[in-house]
């Protein structure tokens, strides 16, 4: 079993308006724990958990939501040129 380093200092937000905190960042995944300063902490995780691709909330891992696509640029109108 792998270990995930959780960073409560780095909240993960959804893309609602307004954004809401949905969990804490998975900062690193390792084979074994190593000493970290509080408030960072380690939790057990499956082999499929990847740092920065998952977040942690109340004991469970979730994929980080994909950002919405950027707006499509609007081409300027081709009206007469004003000098």
Say if residues 26 and 4 touch (Cβ distance below 8 Å).
yes
Domain, as residue range, for 35: 2-63
- Within a domain: 29: yes
pTM of structure: 0.82
What pLDDT sits at residue 75?
80
Whether residue 76 contacts residue 32, with contact meaning beta carbons closer than 8 Å, is answered with no
Question: Are 49 and 2 in contact, with CB atoms under 8 Å apart?
Answer: yes
Tens of pLDDT, residue by residue, the chain (83 residues): 999 999 999 999 999 999 999 999 999 999 999 999 999 999 999 999 999 999 999 999 999 999 989 988 888 767 666 67
- Domain membership flag for residue 20: yes
Domain count across the chain: 1
Q: Is residue 16 part of a domain?
A: yes
23 lies in some domain: yes
Domain contains 50:
yes
76 in a structural domain = no
């Amino acid at each position: 079993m792998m270990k995930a380093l959780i960073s409560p200092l780095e909240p993960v937000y959804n893309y609602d308006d307004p954004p809401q905190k949905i969990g804490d960042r998975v900062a690193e995944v390792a084979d074994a724990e190593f000493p970290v300063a509080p408030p960072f902490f380690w939790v057990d995780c499956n082999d499929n958990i990847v740092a920065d691709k998952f977040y942690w909330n109340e004991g469970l891992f979730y994929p980080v939501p994909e950002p919405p696509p950027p707006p499509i640029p609007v081409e300027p109108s081709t009206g007469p040129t004003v000098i």
